[in-house]
Amino acid sequence: MIKNIMLFLAFMGFACGPACGPAELKTKQDTASVQEEVAPPSPPPEPQGVIAASDCQHVSLGDRVCNITLYDQYGEVWEMYDHEGDVIVLDFSAMWCGPCQAAGYYTQDLQDDYEPHGVKVVTILVDGQSYGAPPSVTEMDTWVRSHGITTAPVLQGSRDFVFDPAGMTGYPISGFPTYIYIDRNMKLYNAHTGYNDQRAREIIDSAL
């Protein structure tokens, strides 16, 4: 019997569930002024979010995952299937979540260390500072600068774009941060809630 992916979302370090309240964002560096919020470029990607198809899902380990198209921190469209052949680490986070903020400080280091091996470490911000509300462009900018992120993609998500309790068209996320690991063939090979840097690196190494 195929085991549901939720069995693999075990606590690995620090995580924040639905009951967690908003947390204060701590900056890594002096953030000066925040850029004015602007609308994303037009036309938007169609459709945006997780792209449902008959040959993909996110229920079990070994599933071929569906494509994702979202805007990144530069206002450019980031499409997951453009990176087939890479190992992809998806970090589903929320700005109000303290454990997500703590995990975010490891993002650029992971990207720097593993980029030469064809690894993409991608943050999908599901919520902004307010619980249940998608991040604004200004909040995206704050996240990127406060965590010292320079080359790792940070995507502007929302619950409508990436969530699905059944795991058929979206991801059955039960807490923040949740990490999903996708191999070079676009198949889901590991997942967990919370973050532990050593364990995350072991999981990435296993796919190289």
Residue 45 maps to a domain: no
Among 1-5, 12-16, 160-164, the range scoring the smallest mean pLDDT is: 1-5
Residue 35 maps to a domain: no
Q: Work out how many domains the chain is built from and give that number.
A: 1
171-205 per-position pLDDT tens digit: 778 889 999 999 999 999 999 999 999 999 999 99
Model confidence, pTM: 0.80
pLDDT band at 44 (very low <50, low <70, confident <90, very high): low
Contacts of 199 (CB under 8 A, 6+ apart): 12, 13, 192
52-75 per-position pLDDT tens digit: 788 887 777 888 998 999 999 999
Q: Is the pLDDT of residue 18 over 50?
A: no
78-113 per-position pLDDT tens digit: 999 999 999 999 999 999 999 999 999 999 999 999
pLDDT mean over 31-55: 61
Q: For residues 143, 202, 79 and 118, what is the CA-based torsion angle, rounded to 10 degrees?
A: 110
- Strand 178-182, strand 188-193: pairing: antiparallel
pLDDT band at 37 (very low <50, low <70, confident <90, very high): low
Residue 164 maps to a domain: yes
Residue 43 maps to a domain: no
Contacts of 8 (CB under 8 A, 6+ apart): 61, 190, 191, 192
Residue 147 maps to a domain: yes
Report the CATH number at residue 56: 3.40.30.10
Residue 126 maps to a domain: yes
Residue 76 maps to a domain: yes
List the domain range (segments joined by +) for residue 137.
5-14+52-205
Identify whether the C-beta of residue 58 lies closer than 8 Å to the C-beta of residue 49. Answer: no
Residue 93 maps to a domain: yes
pLDDT band at 50 (very low <50, low <70, confident <90, very high): confident
